[in-house]
Amino acid sequence: MTAALIDGKGYAAALRQRLFKRAERLKQLHGVVPGLAVVLVGDNPASHIYVRNKGKAAQEAGLQSFEHKLRESASQAQLLKLLAELNSDDKVDGILVQLPLPKAIDSGAVIDAIDPDKDVDGFHVINAGRLATGQPGLVPCTPLGCELLLRAGVPQLAGQHAVIVGRSNIVGKPLAQLLLRADCTVTVAHSKTPDLPSLCRTADILVAAVGRPEVIRGSWIKPGAVVVDVGINRVTEKDGTMRIVGDVAFDEALPVAAAITPVPGGVGPMTIACLLENTFTAACRRRRIDPETV
Ligand code: GUN
């Protein structure tokens, strides 16, 4: 058996196409163009690339994009002042502060300062609480992307045992909530979990969100399981070339799993697509428009 590849890149492109049409309808029907404000503080080169990609993707989907760049030396007070302005700006439906922030700034305080109804990252404690209690809110983009890929690829999620390796606030914990909501039986594992390989072998759905290259081996996977690899790790080969790999040893997983998300081209592209979806959702809800009707 060779695992089917779950085509996140293709699925994300289709989502973005669909969103473009929905954005056109929203403009025609309600005169609304959703606006996404992306805030970048400092000189992190990777963050600059991510922010540029997010702005470009927003424009391609027919959304408005606003970029705000602050110097590395910007104070927390300056950033909080900018967020207060964006919170009260009616053209702005979604606010994303690119992480990591410079060390002098308290990320928690910054996330707290974003209006939860514009928090398109879904990181605000109010949105975490809404997700945990089944209320409508904004859901973090990467877990939302994982859920959409699983819904597309697994005929029946109800009753499946999902093992999520990684307990971050950004991926592991919110994905556990989403899969619980989809009636999976969910186990969240982490660095202190004893005998991780045996636990992983009980998973019908195995999600790797560890952030370390190829730690999940082929022998940890139950034959026929569906594997979602959230990892994006840069590794240097013996010949000095760089390569992006996931948290799963992909070549070992291929003959064992029923389906697997590749890296790159799996979960990664879904994250940006879901950011745009969240911005659209926020724009509708702020105006009491049901996004499902657009
Ligand atoms: N930095 C890396 N990933 C993310 C993300 O999903 N959101 C934000 N705000 N910053 C990030």
pLDDT digits (tens, 9 = 90+) for 230-256: 999 999 999 999 999 999 999 999 999
pLDDT greater than 90 at residue 294? yes
Ordered by start, the domain boundaries in the chain are: 31-117, 141-269
For the question of residue 81 being annotated catalytic, the response is: no
Choosing from 121, 204, 229, 247, the catalytic residue is 121
Closest CA to 220 of 202, 233, 238, 241: 202
Q: What is the pLDDT of residue 19?
A: 98
The answer to whether 266 and 133 are in contact (CB under 8 A) is no
pLDDT digits (tens, 9 = 90+) for 264-273: 999 999 999 9
Same fold, 31-117 and 141-269: yes
Averaged pLDDT, 68-83: 98
**What does pLDDT average to over the chain?**
97
Which pTM was predicted?
Answer: 0.97
**Ligand 1 nearest atom to the CA of residue 170, by list position:** 6
Q: What is the pLDDT of residue 237?
A: 92
**Ligand 1 binding pocket mutation candidate from 44, 54, 170, 234 (most atoms within 8 A of CB):** 170
Q: What is the pLDDT of residue 1?
A: 79
Q: What is the pLDDT of residue 239?
A: 95
pLDDT digits (tens, 9 = 90+) for 9-53: 999 999 999 999 999 999 999 999 999 999 999 999 999 999 999
Q: What is the pLDDT of residue 212?
A: 97
For the question of residue 112 being annotated catalytic, the response is: no
What b/e sequence results for 72-111 when a residue is b if at least 16 CB atoms lie within 10 Å of its CB, and e otherwise? eebebeebeebbeebeeeeebbbbbbbeebbeebeeeebb
pLDDT digits (tens, 9 = 90+) for 44-59: 999 999 999 999 999 9
Q: What is the pLDDT of residue 31?
A: 97
124 φψ region: left (φ > 0), alpha (ψ -120 to 50), beta (else)? beta
**Ligand 1 nearest atom to the CA of residue 99, by list position:** 10
Averaged pLDDT, 116-138: 98
Select the CATH number that applies to the domain covering 141-269 from these four: 3.40.50.720, 2.40.50.100, 3.30.70.260, 1.20.120.530.
3.40.50.720
Strands of 64-70's sheet in order across: 64-70, 35-41, 94-97
Which CATH superfamily hosts domain 31-117?
Answer: Leucine Dehydrogenase, chain A, domain 1 (3.40.50.10860)
Averaged pLDDT, 163-186: 98
pLDDT band at 4 (very low <50, low <70, confident <90, very high): very high
